[in-house]
Amino acid sequence: MNDRYFFTSKRLGFRKFKDSDFDFFYSMNSDSEVMKHFPSVLDKEQTLSLMNRINDHIDERGFGFYAVDLLSENAFIGFIGLKRTNFEADFTPCVEIGWRLDKKFWNRGLATEGSARCLDHALSHLNLDEVYSFTSLLNKASEKVMQKIGMKKIGEFDHPLVEDNHPLKAHCLYRISKGT
């Protein structure tokens, strides 16, 4: 690890968000294609709030959704990481793994590489016993990443923070445990 990153993978560096990430992150979060599996796009205020909450989570817990750089291009590409989740569900509170990359970086194996590295960090270095992931049933690309990193589908649920009758309400739920 160098001073800039908490850790790296072959192609990616994982760090806290910095002010210079804002414009690109806002562009990502306001892109309807990037956000198609979320209830809505984010405006500038919501994007800034998200960046601050992510960094606060890292400061408070020692892990979070990390800002991710593609090392070969020295380019910020989105986030991948871990978050303590506590909405009302039978599997919470838990630590979830998640990702959001700009569409320019899709279909290059980066979400898989980065999430596999974060899982290793969670289970080996943070000594977590298990990690969960979930997404809308419509988000087949993210579900495929979950499968590629060794997570197993354990069920489906209606996300309590998504409005009833919304097409994104139904979610798949994956888990990986230490030693599996």
- CATH number, residue 34: 3.40.630.30
Task: State pTM to two decimals.
Answer: 0.94
Residue 54 located in a structural domain: yes
Give the dihedral of Cα atoms 177, 142, 106, 4; nearest 10 deg: -40
Domain count for the chain: 1
Residue 62 located in a structural domain: yes
Residue 152 located in a structural domain: no
Q: What is the pLDDT of residue 3?
A: 67
pLDDT in tens, 44-72: 999 999 999 999 999 999 999 999 999 99
Residue 178 located in a structural domain: no
Residue 29 located in a structural domain: yes
Residue 146 located in a structural domain: no
Contact indicator for 146, 165 with CB cutoff of 8 Å: no
Residue 165 located in a structural domain: no
pLDDT in tens, 109-120: 999 999 999 999
Residue 162 located in a structural domain: no
Q: Which domain holds residue 97?
A: 7-129
Angle between helical axes of 140-148 and 110-120 (0-180°, round to 10): 50
